[in-house]
Every structure is written in C-alpha cells, then in structure tokens.
Structure 1
Amino acid sequence: MDAEASSSRSLSTPFRRALTACRGAWSHAAKLALDIALPTLCVSCREPVDGEGVCAECWARLSFIAPPYCPRLGIPFVYDPGPDMLSMEAIANPPAYARARAAVRYDDVARTLVHALKYQDRTDLAPAMGRWMARAGSELLHDADVLIPVPLHWRRAWRRRYNQSGALARVIERQTGVKLAGEALQRIRPTQQQIGLSRPQRASNVQGAFKVAAAGQALIAGRRVVLIDDVLTSGATVDACARALLRAKAAAVDVLVFARVVDGHKAPI
C-alpha cells in the first residue's frame, strides 16, 4: 500500500505541474484575447495605449514639478530666488504641516487622471501615479516613519468602495518601505465636498473633522508622518489632518500629493 501511495504521489506531482502550466497559459491567452478585443485606452485622449493608462503624448503634456520651488509649500518658482527662500503664500499663511510636495501641476491631464482614479474605479492608474509621487517626495520619504492617507468618512468610503489616497499610499509603501498606517487617522464626521467652496469655507468645512484613533496613538507619537492625498488645492484638508496628527504628538507632518493647484491653473471641479 505504501508503494502504491508513493507511486500515486510521484504521478500526481507532474500532473499538478502540468495543470498549473495549462492554467497559466489559458490565463495569458484570455488576457491577450481581451486586450485585442478591448485595447487599453489612454485615460486622457482615449487613444489605444500600451502600459498604464496614459499615452506618450499625454504623458509629455503632464507638467511635472521640479526645483526651484518653495521649500515649505512646494509651489514652483518661475526663477531660482536662492536657497531657503519661501513663497509669499508660505510667509503670509504658514500651514500646520512642515513641507508639501506634489508630483505634477493640476492641469487638464492631471485632472483627468485624478478623476478617473477617484470616481471611475481606475485603480490601475495608482501604480504610475504613486511612483511619480514617491520620486517627487523622496526628501520627505527618506526620513519618514509612517504614511497616513487622508481618510474618507465611512459613509463615503462605503459608497466609493475604496479610498484613492489609500491606493496611492500603498504604492508608495511598496516603493519605499515606509510603513502605512491606514486606520490611524479617522474622519469622525462627514464633510461637504470641498469643490466650489472658497478658502475660508474649505477651512471651516473640515475643522474638527479628523482625529487619531486611540489604537493609532502609538503609531503616531514621536513619529515623522507623511500625509498622502491626491490633490492639494487650498490645503485646508491636509492642514486639518496635520493638526490632528500633531495633537497626537507626531514629531512632524509632511504632505505628499499627486497634483497641486498652482496660480494660473483652475481648482478641481
């Protein structure tokens, strides 16, 4: 009987391997057929594209932010004013967070990417967007202890099924190894959509809306936190988050977003 069992095992192993190979081949063939029948389209111009949703032409139209920029807010300068020179906005209205960085300006292509990720279930865009963010925020991430995505209220999260900021943060975690603490910061009351609100209205809308959960206190206290979000407009939301994290004794809070509104570009609609 032992010999029969041994023979059965020796026969079943090659069979299992063959079955696994067949399944892999079938999966590849099915994906190839689907790609032929339904080619991936550029999320911006809708032309067929190989890769992660953006064609080369639209990628070239993205306005990546690079130095020189305000060391506090990450707002790009037209010319280099010299080291440590702050923007007028940073001087007039300094935020609670220490530094902010963005991968791109919020222009037409960036808006299309953000809206597709946020409202159209295009989570396949998160890997490319997250990699661009990791590159733009390398100086923030180098010394960071923990990543915190800007949270959704549970009702909105239930309707949307996922948090776009969390999707971006998971990509950055894989890229950098900085630990993600997705549940540490909570949105404790629902807030009105910030779209269409003035700067004072945005600040009032999110005031007191965020709190560090009791279970998340140990993850925040004494740590350097990088807040992750998709778009920075007035900065009211990330400022409110930063204040909640600092009340929980975070050592410092920086902000990393995919896109930020810069003078001359329209705010999110």
Structure 2
Amino acid sequence: MVESEAGLCPTCWREVQFIGGLVCDQCGVPLPGESDQAERCDDCLRVERPWQRGRAALLYEGQGRQLVMALKHGDRQDIVPIAARWMAQVAVPVLLPETLITPVPLHWTRMLKRRFNQAALLAEALAHYTGHAYCPDLVQRLRATQSTKGQGREARFAEMQGAFRIHPRRRHRLIGRPVCLVDDVMTSGATLAAVSEACLAAGASHLSVLLLARAQKSPYISGNA
C-alpha cells in the first residue's frame, strides 16, 4: 500500500535518504553542523562552478540510487511525478520568479535508444508544480559524449567541453534571464558546468541547478525530511 499514486511504500520511504538541513549552496550536498549563512562544500571550493546556486532532493545511494536507475534505465516514468514534487520542495532557493526551467539534453542517438530524456520529464513536471516557464529544447547536445564512468575529474570535464550549444531559435528566451538546469543526478558536475557555460555565453543572467539526486564523497547525510 502507498499513500498516493506513484508514492513509495513505507519500506522504500525509510530507505531513501532525503537531503535536509545545512547543504552546500552550489551543489546541494549535505554538510555537517549548522550555519546562518550560505556555505560551500570542499568540491565547490576547489572547483569553480559556472552556476550560482544548486539543490538536490536526495542522495544518490541506496534506495535513492535505485530510484534514479529505475527511471533512467528501467523505463519507470511513473517515478517522475513524486520525484518532481520532492525537487519542488527544495527548489525555493534556486528558483526566482522569472526563472526559465530547462533540462540537460541527451544526444539524439541516445534519445533514439532510450526513447525519452529523464531530465526533460523531471523538468516539465517541476515547471508544472512551481508554475515557472519551461523550455524543453533550449540546449542542444552537439555530440555523443563518451561515458565518463570511472574517469577522473579532469577527464570528465575535458570530455564535456564544447558538447553543448543554445538552440538558435530559443536563444531569445534566455537573454537577460535566470535559468535553472534540471538533471537526474550530479557526480563531478562536468556536464552541468558545460551546459551552464553555454547558457551564460548566450546571455543568461543567472544559472542555478536542480537535481533529483546528488552523489557525495563525505559520510555526512541527513535523516528523512
């Protein structure tokens, strides 16, 4: 039994590690302690991020990772409504009233194999819940990048350089406007950095990122909230 359609059963709910409390203001990873000001994690202090603020709904481990993988590779699109609601709950700090929501795109060859872009499904549902403007094809992926799984940080960032551009017929929608990039998961941030740079170069005034899940290196996690 679940509380609502597309909801989680009690067992799965207990095992999902939702992010709450003090978080990194740029990538959303949970941080230990308390603070009355914006804080950044070690990764964001070490690596310059082209976006200003970021949030994530849950940790990319355990049941959270299983949910992301089920959506991404298991065609479990029924996860989208509840996942988007979780993302909307943490989105307040990164969504200005005039923010344009857009997904991180897939290359067309991968789109043919998968048949859908999970980031686009999340972004569309999120825009529906928050009432913000949505543009599904603002960003184009110019080449099919190789999998960066198992690669170091430098290799990941190098692979993503020049892989994205703004759709020529959509550029007018972001000029002088804040943009929020939506994706299912962030590990190194290389993909988000490349997309952010393309948006800023095209005239966006402010970049933020919103994620379903955030991978982390530190042992600090929050309870369910």
Q: Give the structure-2-normalised TM-score.
A: 0.91
Contact 1:225/1:250 (CA < 8 Å) preserved in 2? yes
Tell me what 1:157 maps to: 111
Letter in 1 for 2:57: A
Letter in 2 for 1:202: R
Contact 1:129/1:168 (CA < 8 Å) preserved in 2? yes
Letter in 1 for 2:45: I
Greater helix fraction, Structure 1 or Structure 2: 1
For residues 38 and 90 of structure 2, the distance between their equivalents in structure 1, rounded to whole angstroms, comes to 18
Q: 1:108 aligns with which of 40, 44, 62?
A: 62
Letter in 2 for 1:99: R
Residue 143 of structure 1: how far off its partner (Å): 3.2
Residue 92 of structure 1: how far off its partner (Å): 1.8
For residues 188 and 111 of structure 1, the distance between their equivalents in structure 2, rounded to whole angstroms, comes to 28
- Residue 74 of structure 1: SS of its match in structure 2? coil
For residues 174 and 85 of structure 1, the distance between their equivalents in structure 2, rounded to whole angstroms, comes to 30
Write out per-residue CA displacement over residues 190-229 of structure 1, whole angstroms, 9 at most, x where no aligned residue.
1012222221111111110000011011011111000000
1:192-207 correspondence runs (5 A) = 192-207=146-161
Unaligned stretches of 5+ in structure 1? 1-47
Residue 263 of structure 1: how far off its partner (Å): 1.6
Q: 2:28 aligns with which of 71, 74, 77?
A: 74
Does residue 184 of structure 2 align to residue 212 of structure 1? no
Contact 2:102/2:136 (CA < 8 Å) preserved in 1? yes
Q: 2:92 aligns with which of 138, 142, 166?
A: 138
Q: 1:81/1:244 Cα in 2 relative to 1: closer, same or farther (>3 Å)?
A: same
Does residue 178 of structure 2 align to residue 224 of structure 1? yes
Q: 1:160/1:234 Cα in 2 relative to 1: closer, same or farther (>3 Å)?
A: same
Write out per-residue CA displacement over residues 34-88 of structure 1, whole angstroms, 9 at most, x where no aligned residue.
xxxxxxxxxxxxxx75641531121122111112112223221111144233333
For residues 92 and 264 of structure 1, the distance between their equivalents in structure 2, rounded to whole angstroms, comes to 15
For residues 67 and 79 of structure 1, the distance between their equivalents in structure 2, rounded to whole angstroms, comes to 9
Does residue 130 of structure 2 align to residue 179 of structure 1? no
Q: Tell me how many residue pairs correspond in the alignment.
A: 218
* Identity fraction in percent: 36
Letter in 1 for 2:188: S
Unaligned stretches of 5+ in structure 2? 220-225
Tell me what 1:36 maps to: none
1:3-22 correspondence runs (5 A) = none
- Residue 54 of structure 2: SS of its match in structure 1? strand
For residues 114 and 183 of structure 1, the distance between their equivalents in structure 2, rounded to whole angstroms, comes to 22
Letter in 1 for 2:155: Q
Residue 121 of structure 1: how far off its partner (Å): 1.0
For residues 186 and 53 of structure 1, the distance between their equivalents in structure 2, rounded to whole angstroms, comes to 33
Q: Which has the larger radius of gyration?
A: 1
Q: Give the structure-1-normalised TM-score.
A: 0.77
- Residue 95 of structure 2: SS of its match in structure 1? helix
Contact 2:182/2:211 (CA < 8 Å) preserved in 1? yes
- Residue 214 of structure 1: SS of its match in structure 2? coil
> Mean Cα displacement is larger for which, 249-258 or 76-85?
76-85
Q: Which has the higher contact order (CA 8 A, sep 6+)?
A: 2
Deviating 4+ runs (over 6 angstroms): none
